[in-house]
Amino acid sequence: MNSLDRPASFSKRRIGLFDSGLGGLTVLRRLARTMPDGQYFYLGDTARLPYGNRSRAEIAAYVSEIIAFLQDYDLDTVVMACNTSAALARDVAQGMAQAGGFELLDLIAPTARYIASLQCRPASVGVMATRATVNSGAFSRALLEGGYGGDVKEVPCPELVPLIESGRLGEPDIESALNHCLSEYLLALAGASLIVLGCTHFAFVADRIEALIGGALQGYFPGTVDLIDPAAVLTKHLQSEDATVSSMSAVGVEDNFFVCRSEVALGASDFAFAGLIGEHFFAPDMVPFSQVAFAKHVLPVLPVPEVLIFTTGCAQDFAASAQRCLGPEAAALASALAGVRQVSVDLLKAKGDNIFGQIDAKNVGINVVQPTFALSAPYSG
């Protein structure tokens, strides 16, 4: 039996994540780095992206289908690593979580609570997100409910996801297009002292955003602008629930919700803080593990996370695009990216129909049928 298919009673925390494509990998990379004893099941619905221009009924249907598929792996937690899904169909996912007995998490609510809890609250918060997320007002509503009383401006950024998903980050024409549209979107947020990366894809271009704010657009923003990566906020939330991981704070695990360039493009120094991760995590151009192996005699060696990745698109294209977007961090997911599995949209639809009934397109409600879980979930794609 594959270790990823073993019963939950014999395994560590089992976490499912999903997104319209590559964006949720920005969440997975953080979870795998800070909670390496977990088991992760990720689905990128690239055949139906982008989600940002879809209707609420469509998103609700996709969410029900994907969660039904992931539940075959007897999960403890499902992370909505797609903010468009959380903004438009969290109610559907919550109904499934209640019926299935698993924890449901998204990135919007934790991020809003974190911002509202800051001792020095920003006077103005900007949110970069998909058009659907912006139209839903999800971030503004969550911030208000969390107690934040400052100005909030949400800006739709429809061109970013297709550019990031192109698999051609770094190529001149793509970088030129990114620079153009990012400049336009950031100018719409002029004056904000804190900007939320409201789509998980956007963390892949956080360095470009920083460069523009600190360079060509410097005069439009205050002296210091913080970029918030909601994936980091969620990771901290999960860390606090896990006794093993929460005890790691004393040995250098990050406790920082802000994106910086060194986090976007990790190098050897980021992983060599204690030699905790092991040789599996080092790319060829990084410091050889033998040079930091002395740390094993002082600090515990953490397990390598187990990861299974699915996509509704082409597995090879997904893996190639992921490697380009992740850069050096792709080494941490090398095994999973080498074995990406393709899942047909028809299979997802069958899962949604057979287990959870029909989505009510008008009310986006769900008629829940109590599922029967298989401890060992056979894969058929």
Q: Please, what are the domains in the chain?
A: 3-107+241-253+302-366 (3.40.50.1860)
In the chain, pLDDT over 90 holds for what percent of residues?
A: 66
State pTM to two decimals. 0.78
In the chain, pLDDT over 70 holds for what percent of residues?
A: 73
What lies within 8 Å, CB to CB, of 219 at 6+ separation is: none
The residue annotated as part of the active site, out of 120, 157, 181, 199, is: 199
144-169 pLDDT, tens digit per residue, is 999 999 999 999 999 999 999 999 99
What lies within 8 Å, CB to CB, of 105 at 6+ separation is: 77, 78, 79, 80, 234, 237, 238
In this prediction, residue 374 has a pLDDT band, given cuts at 50, 70 and 90, of very low
Residue 264: the pLDDT is 28
Catalytic annotation present for 157: no
Q: Are strands 77-80 and 39-44 parallel, antiparallel or unpaired?
A: unpaired
Nearest-angstrom CA–CA distance, 252 and 273: 7
Residue 257: the pLDDT is 52
| Best CA proximity match to 15, nearest among 75, 68, 62 | 75
Least confident of 238-252, 320-334, 359-373: 359-373
Residue 352: the pLDDT is 85
Residue 49: the pLDDT is 95
Least confident of 160-169, 252-261, 293-302, 372-381: 372-381
Q: What is the mean pLDDT of the chain?
A: 79
Q: Are strands 194-197 and 151-156 parallel, antiparallel or unpaired?
A: unpaired
In this prediction, residue 303 has a pLDDT band, given cuts at 50, 70 and 90, of low
Catalytic annotation present for 82: yes
In this prediction, residue 332 has a pLDDT band, given cuts at 50, 70 and 90, of confident
Nearest-angstrom CA–CA distance, 38 and 31: 8
pLDDT surpassing 90 at residue 249: no
The residue annotated as part of the active site, out of 82, 120, 157, 314, is: 82
For the CA atoms of 329, 330, 333, 336, the dihedral, rounded to the nearest 10 degrees, stands at 170
Q: What is the mean pLDDT of residues 264-291?
A: 31
pLDDT surpassing 90 at residue 225: yes
Residue 293: the pLDDT is 35
Higher-pLDDT residue of 255 and 333 is: 333
Residue 12: the pLDDT is 74
